[in-house]
């Protein structure tokens, strides 16, 4: 072996040359084959939801859970949060576009007013009715936008559910089901926030007491009888004809 040459240099010279694609794969760390495969559900969860910091779970377990204040619960019960407002603001223009597309499709597929034999077609619907219907759908979209802008969760859920039912009744189920689901979700959220606020303030709705429960008819104290004794009233018995005394006729 010649002096001054390292044996590692001879081994490196004998190694095969890597192609450009192989060197690119080795250069990118996320394309290496030795990386652990992550399930699809975990990847979707990390992409959609905000990942939690490593020390957040331990800190939350150590620190006691602080109950929300009454002011926060009252604000949550009256007004929608940013997420619910964003859903309403995004759903309003989509509802307007869906209403216009649905009505145009119904008008284009509307059967003719008369049959081939000249008789009126019962399946025909007047175009004026479709125009009135599109104004109703656009009005509901405007209400959806207004309730979302002013953070009215309950009314937003009602408008979205009604709009979804209207589209659902027109037999466009794919457009109506998402509005029904989001409307039902908002209504459930409104009910839960109102319930939490009532439980925090103690202002529970009055219910009629049922039998067998404390406060009901069975639990109520019966009125005590009067201490003064009252003898029962006895009615005079009627005398029968046999027991009546026979009067003797006296001769004067």
pLDDT by residue (tens digit) across 71-110?
Answer: 888 888 899 999 999 999 999 999 999 999 999 999 998 8
Q: Count CB neighbours of 143 within 10 A.
A: 20
For the stretch 127-151, pLDDT in tens is 899 999 999 999 999 999 999 999 9
pLDDT category, 181, cuts 50, 70, 90?
A: very high
pLDDT category, 203, cuts 50, 70, 90?
A: low
DSSP β-bridge partners for residue 102: none
For the stretch 10-69, pLDDT in tens is 454 555 677 766 776 666 555 444 445 667 667 656 654 555 555 554 554 444 434 468
pLDDT category, 174, cuts 50, 70, 90?
A: very high
DSSP-derived secondary structure for 53-89: PTTHHHHHHHSPPPPPPHHHHHHHHHS--HHHHHHHH
Q: Where are the domains of the chain?
A: 71-201
Cα–Cα separations (whole angstroms), residue 141 to 12, 174, 183, 198: 71, 18, 13, 32
């Amino acid at each position: 072996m010649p002096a001054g040459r390292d044996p590692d240099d001879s081994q490196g010279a004998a190694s095969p040359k890597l192609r450009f694609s192989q060197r690119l794969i080795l250069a990118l760390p996320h394309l290496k084959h030795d990386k652990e495969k992550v399930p699809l559900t975990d990847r979707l969860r990390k992409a959609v939801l905000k990942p939690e910091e490593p020390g957040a779970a331990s800190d939350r377990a150590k620190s006691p859970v602080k109950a929300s204040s009454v002011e926060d619960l009252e604000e949550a019960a009256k007004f929608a949060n940013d997420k619910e407002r964003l859903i309403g603001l995004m759903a309003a223009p989509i509802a307007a576009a869906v209403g216009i597309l649905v009505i145009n499709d119904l008008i284009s597929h509307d059967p003719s007013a008369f049959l081939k034999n000249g008789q009126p077609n019962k399946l025909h619907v007047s175009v004026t009715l479709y125009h009135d219907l599109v104004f109703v759908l656009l009005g509901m979209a405007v209400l959806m936008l207004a309730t979302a802008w002013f953070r009215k969760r309950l009314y937003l859920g009602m408008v979205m559910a009604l709009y979804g039912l209207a589209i659902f009744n027109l037999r466009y189920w794919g457009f109506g089901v998402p509005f029904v689901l989001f409307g039902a979700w908002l209504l459930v959220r409104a009910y839960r926030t109102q319930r939490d606020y009532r439980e925090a303030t103690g202002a529970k709705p009055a219910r009629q007491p049922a039998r067998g429960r404390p406060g009901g008819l069975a639990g109520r104290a019966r009125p005590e009888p009067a201490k003064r004794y009252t003898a029962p009233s006895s009615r005079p018995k009627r005398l029968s004809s046999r027991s009546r005394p026979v009067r003797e006729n006296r001769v004067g």
